[in-house]
Amino acid sequence: MRIAALDDEAVQLELIRHTMEGIGHECHGFSDGKTLLRDLRQQTYDLLILDWTLPDVQGPRVVRWIREDLNSRLPILFVTNRREEKDMVEGLAAGADDFMVKPIRVAELQARVRALLRRSYPAQHDVELVFGPYHFMPATRSLRVHGKPTDLSHREYELALFLFQNIGRLLSREHLREAVWGVGAESPSRSLDTHISRLRVKLDLVPSNGFLLSAVYGLGYRLESIDATLLNPIYNTPSHSE
C-alpha cells in the first residue's frame, strides 16, 4: 500500500517510514501540512498517518480539508502527543478513523495500520472476486470475462486487478506505476498509457459491461461503475477438490 505520513519531527517521520516499510508498505513523508495538501491534489495514497501539532496547520484542519474539500474517504490515523479524551473526540469528529498516542510503539502502529487497511480495503488475495462479468482468480492470476479466459500479461493482470479493487477512486499515475511496476522501478513514460489502452480493448470496458475507464488530464485514471449494483465485489471462497 502507498502511505503518506505527516510529522514535523524528522526522527518521528523516519520511525514511521521505517515501521511502514517493515510491513511491506511504501511511505512518503511530509514535514508540513501545506506541502502535503498540495501533493494530495496531484497524488493518491491508501492511508494517511499524521501528527496533531504542525508548524503551519493543526492536524484536525488537515483532516477536515481532506474530507470536505477533497471529498475523500482516505483512511486517516492520528499519531500524536495529545492524550486527553477531548483531543481524541475532536480528532475523530474531524473525520479521522483512528487515534494513537505517542511515544510510537512499533508493534502497535503496525497493528493499527493493518486493522485500518483491512477495514478500508477488504482482503482480496485468498478469494475470487466477481465484478459483474469480470471474474478475477488471484490463486491462478487469471481473469474471465463473461466466462471466457482473457489473455493478459503479468502487468496487465496486476493493473486490471488494482483498478477493480479501487473502483471509483482517482488513482494518480505515480500511484499506479508503483502498484504495478514497483517502487523505484524504471518504466517508459508511455508504458502505463499503453497498458491502459490494451486493457480497455482486452476487457471490453464499455457501458454495456457496466464499467468505464477514464483518464483525468494531468492526474491519472479512474475506473467507474455505471451500474450501482456492481460497486461491491462478490467474494467467492475457492473450492478445493479432495
The whole-number pLDDT of residue 119 equals 82
Q: Over 90: is that where the pLDDT of 207 sits?
A: no
The whole-number pLDDT of residue 188 equals 55
Sequence spans of domains, the chain: 2-120, 128-236
The 10s digit of each residue's pLDDT in 153-206 is: 989 999 999 999 898 889 999 999 988 887 665 655 578 999 999 999 999 988
Q: Which of 33-42, 83-92, 165-174, 187-196 has the lowest mean pLDDT?
A: 187-196
Q: Do domains 2-120 and 128-236 have the same CATH topology?
A: no
| Mean pLDDT score, 20-32 | 93
Identify the architecture of domain 2-120 in CATH: 3-Layer(aba) Sandwich (3.40)
Q: What angle do CA 195, 215, 193 make, to 5 degrees?
A: 25
Q: Which residues pair with 225 in a beta bridge?
A: 211
In the chain, the percentage of residues whose pLDDT exceeds 70 is 88
Fold assignment, 128-236: Arc Repressor Mutant, subunit A (1.10.10)
Q: Over 60: is that where the pLDDT of 241 sits?
A: no
- The C-alpha atoms of residue 169 and residue 153 are separated, in whole angstroms, by 24
Nearby residues of 39 by Cβ (< 8 Å), 6 or more positions away: 4, 28, 30
- Do strands 47-50 and 2-6 pair parallel, antiparallel, or not at all (unpaired)? parallel
Q: Over 50: is that where the pLDDT of 240 sits?
A: no
Q: Over 80: is that where the pLDDT of 229 sits?
A: no
